[in-house]
Structure 1
Amino acid sequence: MMRGLPLLLGQLQANPIQMRTIPFLAGSILLTISFAAPAATIVYYQSSAGGNGTTGAIASDYHDDLNDPTTFGPAAGSGVNRDTGVSFSGFGTSINPLQYAGFKISALPDHELHLTQLVFGTLASSGGVRPVTSYSFGYRIDLNNDGSYSGAGEEWVMGKLYTPVDSDFSLGNPFKTWDLNIVTTGEVEFGLFASAPQANGRVVGTEISVLGDINAVPEPSAALLGALGGLALLRRRR
């Protein structure tokens, strides 16, 4: 390694163009490192106290560049009811894509969602008079932002299906994480699905968080100017 260093320096001195590119590359590397940041909480739901019909599970701690997210609750016409904050009943005997409780999030105009994780408290109610036999989260993306979720690529993407054979199925177990890689300027809907041995199964949860970041999307004209500037700089170097 040391024997090759004088040779490398001699080559750089013989080629002044290479000498000038070294600080530029080093600066680029430092810039990339300094702006790297861990995923932050985008939206956070927590059960609130109250009786039947409470409006609990309202979003909080959300990102500045996020539209106000919807309350975590039953989808319209899904047949699912809210019992308390993050407690829902009315699930049938099989997973039904039309029967769910969920919430929607989207970035402000000219911004892009990058969602990396869904973290949730244990949600199974495996005892009592309304146990469930399975549950799962899913998400779908409204790519066109038209509210229909009916286009190509806008179907539900389902996560792990939890059943009683899983050690973390029942209440009292640690939080579970679903790793995501969602990058979109559209709206994202998350849904909680479940099945029960008899109709009217109940799912109970605690906190639910979505992690990631939100980035500004440059105007097309600004991106074009940046590309033209880069080409001009390359031409000058030649």
Structure 2
Amino acid sequence: MEIKPLLDYPRDAVDRLLNVIHLFRDIRAASEWQYDVLLKRSRLVTLAPGEQLLRAGDVDQWVYFLLRGELQVQMEAVSNGMEIPGERTLAVIRPGELFGDLSMLLAEPRSANVFAAHHSRESQVLGLDCTLFGDLDDLSLLQLPAKLIFYRNMVHSLRWKLEVYRSKYPGHQLADSHRKLRLYTGPKNCRDELIALADQARALARILLDWNAEFGSGELVDDESDMLGFLESMLS
């Protein structure tokens, strides 16, 4: 595994890469210096086939975006409450997908292992240290607008994943759980909205964790998957 700070790469190449990730693009549009703060807390991780990125039980505040290759999310196989040899694949992560957010939002140990797929020549991941976003009252590095953008992105991503589950299993008892959560209707762009978004993100994360434990998240790919084309030339 090779881990390099994002600032080790040419700035123009980094900007092209991050322009296809909604979170970075939105924060840059709002404030160039807040965008620079994110760059200082980001890193690129390159994985060989079969190499492990995340381990169940680990505790950290990193959120990741898969840029190239394919990752597999695996959990220990369990029967009648007892672990049995081997692992089951919970999900396949493809370019453009955000992951690692559930552990960060819920402040809990990671619930699964993440490996680079054996058939993938090389996988590359962008990691963001989200301790920047955890304390809602600490605006010393990231100000309110940037934190609002972060939690809006988290809520959007989680709701989208939950809608995928709902479309696959419309009759399941969890199918409408996320739609029953109360939406914030107060003033926009204020601390009250930030608190409501953070609470909503944690509630959505808990529901998604319940889905994942039962079914696995399947193949979730969103409109950020076109970032793959940028990567072929950016780091050469």
**TM-score past 0.5 threshold:** no
TM-score after normalising by structure 1: 0.26
Q: TM-score, normalised by structure 2?
A: 0.27
Of structures 1 and 2, the larger Rg is shown by 1
Task: Give the structure with the higher percent helix.
Answer: 2
More strand per residue: 1
